[in-house]
Amino acid sequence: MSPKKSKRTYEGCGHLLRDHPSGRRANPAKVHGISKEGGYALVKEVTPKSNVAEKQPERQLTLKRLKATEKCPACFGDSLCKQVDAGALTVDVANKKLEHKGVYSGRFKDTDIVAKRLAGSFKWVKFDEFICQNASVPGNCDVSKMVSKTILVADDALQLSWLREAWRIAHTDGQIALESCMTDKLIEEHKKAYGQNVNGELGKTEQAYMITSLLMNPEAQVLKYFTSSSERNWPFPKYLGACGRVIFVENGWKLLDTSLASPWKERANIALQLLNMIDTFRNEDPEWIVIFLDFRYENFAVDQYGRLNLIDFDEVMLIDRKESGDGEKKESCNMKDLKRFLSGTEKDGICFQVPQYSQMMYALACVRLLSFLSEHLLKSLSDRHRSPEHVRPPGLLWGPPEHEATAIEALLRGCVEEKVAGGRLEAVGKLKAVLRRTLVY
């Protein structure tokens, strides 16, 4: 079946590959036991932007309501529930500062942590409705008991085809980035992370945790794999565990934009970390390439030790190295090329080509977060409710040492706009060398 022509316009590459490469569409009536009858599309928000329940903070929210362990195993897990019940892990639910984002601060073992809901109340309500419907129980039901009677714990739910189609029904307001190039191999990695049995097979409870996490928000999966299952140190807040419908991660501390007023050496160090982070995404893991194109200040944070971390994983994709092409593009690659690639009408094999565009992470980081050049400060915004043009503040590398300013300006231009193949990587290498040099002055 030929893919449908995309109507999506370029949005700064923040949303990668919104149409699946196969171009297949889910059956609108029924997908492997997921029915849309009666308005019970899995986790579907019919009118997410006008939903009052999502806009208004919950009243008298308590930690018990937040974690909702009575719903388990239709939840993220229970690995930290004993610590929560014993009072060793506390969450400040009274602080409403980030409640609209489903984020709450807390403490665990003398460490600042963050509790994340990862999905709003409305989506959890629709998820519960789906469980009851799929278990053939009309109206409300005890989802903790009924989930074992649903497709979520059946063998079909571990099949790539089922997950892809379930995602389409679950997230009508936007495709989950992790799903775009999901492979059977990645599903097996997730099974290893959740499996407790020696033979590696998942029990029903473990599968319910895993499928709930994948369908509601796969951020827990990404963090669990990279910070718990991997021996490497990744620039992500450490995943600590889950209790009910909440996950707990290390606190990322201050958002990146708070560093814009810091002294040069601090900003140069953070900029160097950002470029090294992209190196890590592209080269560190022998099995996977991490693709992330949503370079905004609010998606990064600097901890108390000055370490830069990525803290938002909505747009993270994992590309299987063995199922993708190798090497860089043989010709220059710039924003217009990336735009053409992402909005192409023929999606077949697109995941195979993604690694060729991984170098564009440097360009996006430079133009959005690092550059102070006038030609880079004016950017288009995809939000139609705001002004079509917006001047952002100068990036992290504003006010460089006078004797390095000319070199840094030229290298930032080379990072953003590539003249010849390989030029961007050369510019990034030289920019890192200059930044390291300024740190020892």
Average pLDDT in the 368-378 region? Answer: 92
The answer to whether residue 10 sits within a structural domain is no
How many percent of the chain have pLDDT more than 70? 78
pTM for this entry: 0.82
The identity of residue 130, as a single letter, is: F
Average pLDDT in the 6-32 region? Answer: 36
The answer to whether residue 14 sits within a structural domain is no
- Which of 218-222, 268-272, 356-360 is predicted most confidently? 268-272
The pLDDT, as a whole number, for residue 174 is 63
Per-residue confidence at 23, pLDDT binned at 50, 70, 90? very low
Residues 6 or more apart in contact with residue 420 via CB below 8 angstroms: 332
Tens digits of residue pLDDT in 36-81: 333 333 332 223 333 434 444 444 578 899 999 999 999 999 999 9
Q: Is the peptide bond before 73 cis (omega within 30 degrees of 0)?
A: yes
CA-CA distance, 282 to 361, in Å (whole number)? 9
| Cα-based distances in Å from 81 to 56, 71, 76, 224, 251 | 28, 13, 11, 17, 19
Alpha helices (runs of H) in 217-300, residue ranges in sequence order: 219-224, 264-283
Tokens, residue 85: 């019940």
Please count the structural domains in the chain.
2
State yes or no: pLDDT of 217 exceeds 60: yes
The pLDDT, as a whole number, for residue 175 is 61
The answer to whether residue 349 sits within a structural domain is yes
CA-CA distance, 400 to 373, in Å (whole number)? 12
Helices and strands (H, E) in the chain, number of each type:
16, 14
Residue 224 and residue 354 in one domain: no
Residue 239 and residue 258 in one domain: no
Average pLDDT in the 242-267 region? Answer: 94
Residue 241 and residue 115 in one domain: yes
Residue 214 and residue 102 in one domain: yes
Identify the CATH number of the domain in which residue 429 sits: 1.10.510
State yes or no: pLDDT of 349 exceeds 80: no
The pLDDT, as a whole number, for residue 347 is 56
How many percent of the chain have pLDDT more than 90? 52
Residue 258 and residue 226 in one domain: no
Per-residue confidence at 242, pLDDT binned at 50, 70, 90? very high
Tens digits of residue pLDDT in 75-122: 999 999 999 999 999 999 887 777 667 899 999 988 999 999 998 888
Residue 199 and residue 235 in one domain: yes
Residue 171 and residue 285 in one domain: no
Cβ atoms 396, 370 nearer than 8 A: yes
Around 439, how many Cα atoms within 13 Å sit in the side-chain half-sphere?
A: 15
- Of 250, 277, 295, the residue at which a domain comes to its end is 250
Domain of residue 244 covers 30-250
- Of 235, 250, 265, the residue at which a domain comes to its end is 250
138 alpha-carbon distance from chain centroid = 35
Per the prediction, the chain carries an average pLDDT of 81
